[in-house]
Structure 1
Amino acid sequence: MILPVIMAGGSGTRLWPLSRGNFPKQFLSLTSDLTMLQQTVLRLKGLRQLPPLFICNEEHRFIAAEQVRQLDLEGAAILLEPVGRNTAPAIALAAFKAMQDVENAAGSEPLLLVLAADHVIQDTQAFHGAIAKAQPLAEAGKLVTFGIVPTHAETGYGYIKRGKAVASSESRVASENSGELRGTAEASGEDQSSDESRVSSHGFVVASFVEKPDADTALQYLGSGEYYWNSGMFMFKPSRYLEVLREFRPDIYAACEQAMTRQAPDMDFIRINQQAFMTCPEDSIDYAVMEPLCGGTSGTHAVVVPLDAGWNDVGGFNALWEVAEKDAFGNAFHGDVIATDTRNTLVHSGDKLVAAVGLDDLVVVNTKDAVLVAHRDRAQEVKAIVNRLKTDNRSEVSFHREVYRPWGKYDSVDMGQRFQVKRITVKPGAKLSVQMHHHRAEHWIVVSGTAKVTNGEQQILLSENQSTYIPIGVVHALENPGKMPLELIEVQSGSYLGEDDIVRFEDRYGRD
């Protein structure tokens, strides 16, 4: 049985201003109406799998939980990392969790299928076929990675050099223990007539991992046919991963083992020992585990399975343009866009009409609070803008004008030196924390729906066009008791309007 482990961390800074610190690209709807996280989950349909395990950080936990809830997944769990420590520790947490579940349920050990939540895979059938090839190798104790068959000489990816084909005895024995695998392979039309065909189609020993090359070297890699793009996707037994991690990085192993000794369920989340995990070194699975397996006596334990399935990590706007649906002139438009004499251009409009005249090979991205204009060939350099925003301590690096909360969202419509206007949306049945402010008063005007308001000692119901005033220092709360979203306008006024001027007395979402 397969246990999907979906890594939902990362900041996606090369897609700013769409992707931001508190709402990165894995939670965005970039290539369809579904978010990238949701697409990652749905492309697993058809596999024999356990409910997914998501790895997420504290800051994004409610966004991840809401998007998982929308898929009606039963039994899915979200494991929270107290801090980011890269992929090797994150996968170790998942492996320890899987082994603990096996011990508690007295079941069989699953295979971990480690996936990023922010990749595009256009050919689901080919993706499932590669998983079928990887499964017997992982069952045999291999650590399998998926190598993307390159389509061009890309300098932005790391590469994997393949070695010899996996030994027939290893592949055949594992296949004979997996009737399900053979059925999947037959369904995909693979030739099962000889051992050799099975060997060549299953995978290859990893000869080496290679850093991002220059253009000339990338061309050589492409021409040789021996190199794949490093996808960052893996399959292996959790026990095998932990065994190798303990051999090569005992410090990471020990910290993660200690962190998982104390788990605290919290709503949709699994919290671990924060103090123990804080001591864990930071490292990727490539450096900590996979590269040390290449060469020497361990050289046959790292295996690459080729994957040719329309993969793209959407690492920037040019990549987004490549996977987007285009018109006859090579343009990819999202939102309200009118264009004339425009070619090979990506325009993404969030909330207003964008008119394009005479553009060629450009990227134009409009959000409620920022506009990006760049040449497609230089769109990766948006990272320099993000660094500048960080240096200047500007909020746009982390927050959209529209901010999501576990109870709903708010949109900062207008602000001045001593006032701020927000449009607040509260989900049915949701409630904001019981709180007060030291420096601001608030006026609430209901636009639609019904609001249950705590205002000091009073509890009142407000409907459309009714309002209330919350003075400075008064304890208050807002709740939607209805079955439709509650929309209201909040006008704040005072000497300080920052989000940190909140004293919470009670909060159903566990926030301080």
Structure 2
Amino acid sequence: MTQVLPVILCGGSGTRLWPISRSGFPKQFLVLSGDGSQKSLFQQAIERANSVANSSIQLGPTLIVTNEEHRFLALDQLRELKDVQATLILEPSGRNTAPALTLAALEAREHGEDPILLVTPADQTVINGTAFTQALQKAVRIASEGAIVILGITPNTPQTGYGYIKAKSDILNKDRDGLMVERFVEKPDEQTAKQYLAEGGYFWNGGMFVLKTSVWLASLKEFRPDILAGAKKAWKTKEQDASADAIFVRPDKDAFNDIPSESIDYAVIEKCPSMERKDAFPIKMVELDAGWSDLGAWDAVWQVGMQDQDGNVISGDILLSNTKNSLVYANSRLVSVVGVENLIIVETADVVLVADKANSQDVKNIVGQLTVQQREEKNLHRKVVRPWGWYDSVDEGEQFKVKRICVKPGASLSLQMHHHRAEHWIVVKGIAEIINGDKTLILTANQSTYIPQGQTHRLANPGKYPLEIIEVQSGSYLGEDDIVRFEDTYGRK
């Protein structure tokens, strides 16, 4: 029985899919595949990886490497999946994929003698799940014999946004043993990409790997001992705590931040084919022809979406007239489009994006301007998800702000106070348990309370249904950083 641990690499901010994807709610947590599924890309990645189990493959817990900021997004979406055991390894900062996989490998050693790691990013989509599962099962069998196995995506267009794998042709043995990798090539220009397709034997590198834990650690020791040593140091003093649905593991912050930032490809994979001793770390490729996309930009979302007779992909409250080959996404209001072609139109509560579909990769330039101007639209939506629920900033002006707040059943905000603002709370529905100074109140719909500036307070939902309130803030400063936490269920003191 071969033991396999799925490893989901859940980092990245997906800036090319702004304004839906933002650093506080990146694309892997969004529903974007366009196939009618209501699961996020992250959830789909977990289910695809777990589909590899069969009579000869035993699954261990899913290892999810994400960052501290997104831990509750990941946990909430994990709760929606049935029968998935997971460990969340929380990176204190982004150090690219090689350190992330190394942390997962160190965790994997604690779940078996030498389990096989099935490594996949969290932000991709696949149309043919059966073909994907079959490719993974073949890769697991080959990896069990000691090879590093990479999935090579069958190209159908001359893409310039992907690295390519040049595989040696071996028609007789490829179904049994996979293909030997001859070399890796960087992202080509368009003419070179067309040449690759015409020549054949080239595949897209989708960043998916299957290999034994021991093989990854040994290859890292050979090529990047500094990354291995740094990860081991950070892992040695890790902290661990369990929630109802998963385990959080935190490597040492200072030690982890000292690890060089490097990708799996650059650290190890691309070095293997060029070694003088070709048998030291054999690398093989399994072809994947399953309708794969990394949804790297809005034009890719259009390509995998359900197109109407005019080639349009729509989501939300949309009215079209004489519009062709466009993607229109409405999040909060009616969007009407007349007499256009080949456009990307994305509406959210606080941002509207209009782009030529051919230039959708350049959305990152707008994100760059937002970064320079330090605008909050880069990081957060108007509606912000929190571990206890969410809030939506529906209106604001000089010295006032209005929020709609929803608290999950059984959840509570931190015990806190504000130096510069007072707050009025009006219960819309549900039951609110409120600490207001030295008083504890129970309020229901249409009841309210006032929190003076500087007063210690807490909002909790003791009921079985979501609690919704309207909060009106007033004061000289209304920033989210005007908060002093005294107690917090989520470790944010």
TM > 0.5 fold call: yes
SS at match of 2:218: helix
Cα separation, 2, equivalents of 1:45 and 1:235: 13
SS at match of 1:11: coil
2:11 is aligned to 9
Alignment of 1:68-87 (within 5 A): 68-87=78-97
Return the offset for 1:6. Answer: 0.3
- The alpha-carbon deviation at position 46 of structure 1 amounts to 3.7
Change (3 A) 1:27 1:94: same
User: CA separation of 1:45/1:84 partners in 2, compared to 1, >3 Å: closer, same or farther?
Assistant: closer
C-alpha change, 1:152 and 1:250, in structure 2 (3 Å) is same
TM-superposed deviation, 1:51: 2.4
State the shift of 1:249 in Å.
0.4
**2:298·2:344 contact (CA, 8 Å) conserved in 1?**
yes
Tell me the alpha carbon deviations over residues 445-472 of structure 1, each in whole angstroms, 9 at most, x when there is no partner.
0000010000000000010000000001
Answer yes or no: is the 8 Å Cα contact 2:60–2:111 preserved in 1. no
* Whole-Å separation in 2 of the counterparts to 1:449 and 1:84: 39
C-alpha distance in 2 between matches for 1:219 and 1:245: 34
Alignment check: 8 A CA contact 2:220 2:267 kept = yes
User: 1:95-494 to 2 correspondence within 5 Å?
Assistant: 95-102=105-112, 108-163=113-168, 165=170, 197-266=172-241, 267=243, 268-299=247-278, 301-494=282-475
* Cα separation, 1, equivalents of 2:339 and 2:350: 25
**Aligned-residue RMSD, C-alpha:** 1.2
Counterparts of 2:484 and 2:331, CA distance in 1: 33
Does residue 71 of structure 2 align to residue 65 of structure 1? no
How far residue 59 of structure 1 moved from its aligned partner, in angstroms, is: 1.0
Q: Shift of the alpha carbon at 1:109?
A: 2.2
Q: Equivalent residue of 1:147, what SS?
A: strand
Distance 2:84 2:124 in 1: 23
> For residues 372 and 298 of structure 1, what CA distance do their matches in structure 2 show?
52
- State TM-score, norm by structure 1: 0.91
Say if 2:7 and 2:63, in contact at 8 Å, map to a contact too: yes
| 8 Å CA contact 2:103, 2:231 repeated in 1 | yes
Q: How far, CA to CA, are the matches of 2:173 and 2:349 in structure 1?
A: 53
User: Which structure shows the bigger proportion of residues in helix conformation?
Assistant: 1
Equivalents in 2 of 1:135, 1:46: separation in Å? Answer: 12
Alpha-carbon separation, structure 2, partners of 1:38 and 1:311: 16
More moved, 46-55 vs 495-504:
46-55
User: Shift of the alpha carbon at 1:409?
Assistant: 0.3
Structure 2 residue identity aligned to 1:129:
Q
Alignment size in residue pairs? 477
Amino acid in the other structure paired with 2:432: A
Residue aligned with 2:162, SS: coil
CA distance in 2 between counterparts of 1:284 and 1:399 reads 27
- CA displacement, residues 344-403 of structure 1 (integer Å, 9 cap, x when unaligned): 010000011111111101010000100000110011111110000000110000010000
Whether 1:53 aligns to 2:63 is: yes
Aligned to 1:173: none
SS of aligned partner of 2:285: strand
The alpha carbon displacement at 1:510 in A equals 0.6
8 Å contact kept, 1:205–1:299:
no
Aligned-partner residue type, residue 79 of structure 2? R
Contact 1:163 1:206 in 2 (8 A): yes
Deviations 1:198-229 (A, max 9, x none): 54454112111111101110011011111100
CA distance in 2, matches of 1:399, 1:296: 46
Contact 2:62–2:84 under 8 Å retained in 1: no
CA distance in 2 between partners of 1:44 and 1:25 (Å): 19
Q: Provide the C-alpha distance between the structure 2 equivalents of 1:22 and 1:74, rounded to a whole number of angstroms.
A: 25
CA offset at residue 295 of structure 1? 1.8
Q: CA deviation at 1:43?
A: 2.4
Alpha-carbon shift at residue 42 of structure 1 (Å): 2.0
Q: How high is the sequence identity, in percent, across the aligned residues? A: 51
Q: 1:201 to 1:219 in 2, by over 3 A?
A: farther
Contact 1:127 1:309 in 2 (8 A): yes
CA distance in structure 2 between the partners assigned to 1:209 and 1:298 by the alignment: 17
What is the DSSP-based 3-state SS (H/G/I as helix, E as strand, rest coil) of the residue aligned with 1:152?
coil
Structure 2 CA distance for aligned equivalents of residues 25 and 273 of structure 1: 27
**1:92-137 deviations in Å (ceiling 9; x for gaps):** 00011111232xxxxx421100011110111111111111221222
Quick one: structure 1 residues 87 and 45, their matched pair in 2 at CA, closer, same or farther if it must change by over 3 Å? closer
Instruction: Give the aligned partner of residue 56 of structure 2.
Output: none
Provide the secondary structure at the position in 1 that maps to 2:276: helix
One-letter code aligned to 2:77: Q
Instruction: Give 1:235 shift.
Output: 0.3
Alignment CA distance shift 1:298-1:433 (3 Å)? farther
Q: CA deviation at 1:299?
A: 3.3
Tell me the SS of whatever aligns to 1:304: strand
Structure 1 residue 262 displacement after superposition: 2.0
1:40 paired residue number: 45
Counterpart CA distance in 2 for 1:358 and 1:199 is 50
Displacement, 1:45?
A: 4.7
- Opposite residue 261 of structure 1, the aligned amino acid is K
Deviations, residues 218-269 of structure 1 (Å, cap 9, x unaligned) = 0110111111001100000011100000111010000001111122223341
Is the contact made by 1:51 and 1:73 (CA closer than 8 Å) also made in structure 2?
no
Gap regions ≥5 residues in structure 1: 103-107, 166-195
Q: CA deviation at 1:429?
A: 0.2
C-alpha spacing 1:7/1:45, structure 2 compared with 1 (3 Å): closer
Greater CA deviation, 231-240 or 125-134?
Answer: 125-134
TM-score for the superposition, normalised by structure 2: 0.95
